[in-house]
Amino acid sequence: MAAIDVVQRLRKKNREVADTNQSKFPADYPWGTLKVLGGADINRLARQELRNHLEARELSTLGNKRQLVERLQKSVLEEQARAHADATDAEFELGADLEERGSVYVVGANGAGQLGLGDVQPRQYFTVVPESRGAGVCYVTAGYDIVFAVTEDHDVLVWGGSGVGPMGVAQDPEDSDDDYLEPRPIKELVGEEIVRVSVGATHALALSKGGDVFAWGRGEAGQLGLGVLAPHATPTLVNGLQDGDAVCQVAAGRSHSVAVTTAGCALAWGHAQDGRLGVGAASRAAAPPHEAPFFPSPTPVAALGREPVRQVACGPTFTLALGGSRVWAWGSGDGGVLGLGDVKGRAVPAPVEAFAGMHVLQIAAGTWHAAAVVMVPPALNGGYLYTWGSGYHGQLGLGHRQVVLRPTLVQELLKTQQWVKFVACGSHHNVVVTAEGELYSWGSNKHGCLGRTLLTAEPFTPVPGHVGGFGALVDGIGRGMPRSVACGKEFTVVATFPYEGPTWAVADQLAQEYALEEETLLLQQQQAQDEDAFAARTVATRGDMSGVSAANACSMCEDGQQCSGFVPLEFAAGMCAECRHSVTFHVNADNGRQLVPVPGAALRKL
């Protein structure tokens, strides 16, 4: 066979291989791309295919087939690792951007899914709720083990409660058993423009922008205000409010509810036991507690008279009201929670005399204790914090004092000049937001619910302390300042404003610039110290020429114009620092003799 025939056959075979490869890999999938190689079995590729892929990747095509396979596999694995890293970085940046727009952070107990993180594991440090990132949550409230969040678009999200609490969510056959572990919207409230939610032990209330009230949950004590003693799983509009007045605030207790109208009238409904409704001794004498009457419809708290009410707060079995000039309390007085100086209950509102003459900005009720913020000029947006009741877990913030029957000033906050703007009371701990937007917490620290990293191992603390990590970069992501806070049973929820600080890149650059400034300052200080030492050595050297007078002119200088007197040079004490002539040319003006230094003095080393 002629040589030309052999060459033609080889060329024909190569064209057949190329055609086969073209059918395997279309034109829009060029050689060497990860899209082609990602699903291919590189070990089964022909040598020609291996060389084509390696050439497309600008890699060496030399070596046997095994070397080519290993080289191509290594290149593909490296590219896949880079692609995964890039995807991870892109996902992190997207999540960081959403989180920095405002999010919800949680810490503490999580047995009922109340942290909204998709599991029931507690958290020792504040952790972002992924579903809340960028949702614009502006308000949060917490019950025993359930959380509600209201967004800027007036949507209501709920999570926790083990799925059996007052979720306000209709049962859907498609819902899984663990949907309560993450935030989910209450569809029945969509479009109702909800601005606030209050949750008790078994029911919840929602207030709309227009002043309507919605209720849901258990209603066997009439706490829903719907006129019947029956439960409602989903939000239902509460009718029968006095004269159709719009409601501006609602509060839910264990089995009772209180609302405030725009006219300043307080309305209460639900279980009347312990006088928690403030409507008087409505139960008949000697009747057992379970036969106490129920008020299934809103009833005015007549004992307040014409006192306009600005705010109400409900504990499990007691109620507080903030009037125009006074604070009122009624219900069970166990543990001194009413702040009236004793542990007796009150069936009708009684004024808390400790606040007489004070301007109270806010009141809050926990399970066994209560708190109030009192304005102290010139701090118009904040003031002093007072607490009272029982605080065996340190929730009063009064040091060793565990029970106080009257409102008492929390002195620890004054030591750092912290003006309190808002206080939230949980069952076992408290959280406040200061006028500067900083967060402070104290009380039980079970599961790290205080969010204070320095106290993770401590069971409780009666001393308020700063909670860091807000308004700062944490793990490369900016956290905004607290916007709304809530306390449940040994867990804390914080909704934040959008982050306004520097980005991670800017912060890193600022840190580098700061480090450079610090280094420059240290060098300048070292240089100044060296100059001081040099001056000290010069003085010491001149002191060694004590046998030489500085008033001796140099005979080599004409008319003494170059030298006014001998001054020893630093490292050559026999030379004059003025004219650089030897000491032997300087004449003593008194006797005309040459000046001779004290032996050894001029040659003494430093």
pLDDT tens by residue, 248-273: 999 999 999 999 999 999 999 999 99
The DSSP output letter for 386 is: E
Domain assignment present for residue 447? The answer is no
Domain assignment present for residue 53? The answer is yes
Domain assignment present for residue 358? The answer is no
**CA angle 599–604–606, rounded 5-degree value:** 165
pLDDT surpasses 60 at 26: no
Q: Residue 309 pairs with which residues in a beta bridge?
A: 323
**CA angle 146–290–251, rounded 5-degree value:** 35
Number of domains in the chain: 2
Domain end residue (candidates: 48, 64, 98): 98
Domain end residue (candidates: 98, 116, 136): 98
CA distance 515 to 549: 51
pLDDT tens by residue, 48-86: 888 888 988 889 989 899 999 999 989 889 988 888 888
Domain assignment present for residue 538? The answer is yes
Average pLDDT over residues 11-18: 54
Q: If pLDDT is split at 50, 70 and 90, which confidence band does 95 have? A: confident
**CA angle 501–507–512, rounded 5-degree value:** 155
Supply the range of the domain harboring residue 9.
3-98
Domain assignment present for residue 536? The answer is yes
Q: If pLDDT is split at 50, 70 and 90, which confidence band does 548 have? A: very low
Q: If pLDDT is split at 50, 70 and 90, which confidence band does 605 have? A: very low
Domain assignment present for residue 52? The answer is yes
Q: What is the enclosing helix (H) or strand (E) of 495? A: strand 491-496
CB half-sphere exposure, 579, CA atoms < 13 A: 22
pLDDT surpasses 60 at 23: no
Q: If pLDDT is split at 50, 70 and 90, which confidence band does 284 have? A: very low
pLDDT surpasses 50 at 193: yes
Place of tokens 């007796």: 344
Q: If pLDDT is split at 50, 70 and 90, which confidence band does 416 have? A: confident
The DSSP output letter for 572 is: -
Q: The pTM is what?
A: 0.75
Picking from 54-58, 88-92, 385-389, 460-464, which range would have the lowest pLDDT averaged per residue? 88-92
Domain assignment present for residue 488? The answer is no
Domain end residue (candidates: 70, 98, 126): 98
Domain assignment present for residue 546? The answer is yes
Average pLDDT over residues 414-427: 92
